Structure 1
Amino acid sequence: MTDPTQALSRLSPLLPLLARFIFAAVLLPYFWASAMTKLGDGIFGVLTPSVGAYAQIFPKAFEAVGYDVSKLGIFHWAVVTAGTWAEFVLPALIVLGLLTRLAALGMVGFIAVQSLTDLYGHGGIEHAATLGAWFDRLPDGVILDQRAFWVFTLAVLAVQGAGALSLDRLLFRSGAPAHPGDLRPAPEGPQSR
């Protein structure tokens, strides 16, 4: 008699592909739209963030200097510029399945910083609905509820990799398999020596 759960366990290699699909369908448009609001004018907009970028990432520091970007330092520019690039590059890497584990870990860090900025920089900590709460029957808290699902999706990719249909698998085929079940014995014969 066969165990029906064994058939389900054979589908586990599809989990990373499904996680990347969900990320592409739900979070890619969100992060890219957010990044677009941070670009400055013209072709060099990727190096000259918009005023809104500083307001989003450093709300209190920006307010303290009277919303004058020229009064902020190189540190602020570097963080805002790197954050903008990260919102474009890391999601693209995840969707393409390229350097997926590293990109997923980078996105987890990005989401942690984003959440802390939302809570303490923008005052979300003062609003119970923004923070949310676990085990409260309400699944719509922005930080604790929604972002927990985001991080879980990314954790699947960080642990399991991009899966079979990915640039990681294509480019790094000789690397370690994504799943222990992918281990196959080497072919026997003179060519294997």
Structure 2
Amino acid sequence: MNALLSLHDRAARTATRLAPEALPLIARFSFAAVLLVYFWNSARTKLGEGPFGFLSPSDGAYIQIFPKAVEAVGYDVSQLTVFHWAVVTAGTLAELILPALLLLGLFTRLASLGMIGFILVQSLTDIWGHGVGGDDLGRWFDAASGALILDQRLMWVTVLLILAFHGAGRFSLDSLLAGRRIPQIP
């Protein structure tokens, strides 16, 4: 029994020693494998025509982000305000830029926090704007693990929290840039 406990302790020490290097890489890989294309495809549906399409978002962008406001103006998005345009434009840019920063490991902690905020706003919009509820909303601490909002998005946020706490790790632009900084005198 002591040999088994000793083996367990050695394995645990090794895992603890490797965690600061492994967790950020695993989290960035998981984000890229599961969410990168999801967010980029979502952003593409919001882009208007041409190279500056992010400045003239599609009608679908307004419908996705402000469903009740768009319905209130009879689906004529030209009646919406500059506030609506600014939020839709910022949201579209966030969906394009923040995942790219996470993929590259550049400004990873800030990008992770930005993505967490984005996911919270996205979830609230789905719940109150689009009326998502029931099984799609889900419940924590139940037998079902596939609810679109509470279950899946908690997992997304958990991956992003690893990056917010640990940073991008050794294999990132953050690490490369940190090695080039001039040391500060205390």
1:102 aligns with 2:102: no
> Counterparts of 1:75 and 1:53 in 2: how far apart (Å)?
14
**Partner residue in 2 for 1:156:** 162
- Residues of 2 paired with 1:43 and 1:33: CA distance? 16
Which of the numbers 6, 10, 13 marks the counterpart of 2:17? 10
Q: CA deviation at 1:91?
A: 0.4
Q: Which of residues 53, 72, 76 is equivalent to 1:45? A: 53
1:174 shift after superposition: 6.2
Unaligned 5+ runs, structure 2? 1-5, 182-186
2:41 to 25, 33, 42: 33
2:92 maps to amino acid: T
Q: Secondary structure at the match of 1:93?
A: helix
Instruction: Report the equivalent of 1:183.
Output: none
* More helix by percentage: 2
Determine the structure 2 residue equivalent to 1:113: 121
Residue of structure 2 aligned with 1:78, choices 64, 86, 94: 86
RMSD of the alignment, in Å? 1.2
How far residue 172 of structure 1 moved from its aligned partner, in angstroms, is 1.5
1:66 aligned partner, one-letter code:
G
List, as ranges, runs of 4+ consecutive aligned residues in structure 1 with deviation greater than 3 Å.
Answer: none
TM-score scaled to structure 1, two decimals?
0.87
* CA positional deviation for 1:41: 1.2
Provide the TM-score with structure 2 as the length reference: 0.90
Give the gaps of 5 or more residues in structure 1.
176-193
**How far has the Cα of 1:173 moved from its partner?**
2.3
Partners of 2:145 and 2:98 lie apart in 1 by 27
Percent identity between matched residues is: 62
Aligned mates of 2:123, 2:25 — CA distance in 1: 26
Among residues 89, 98, 111, which one is paired with 1:90 in the alignment? Answer: 98
Question: Aligned-pair distance for 1:4?
Answer: 2.2
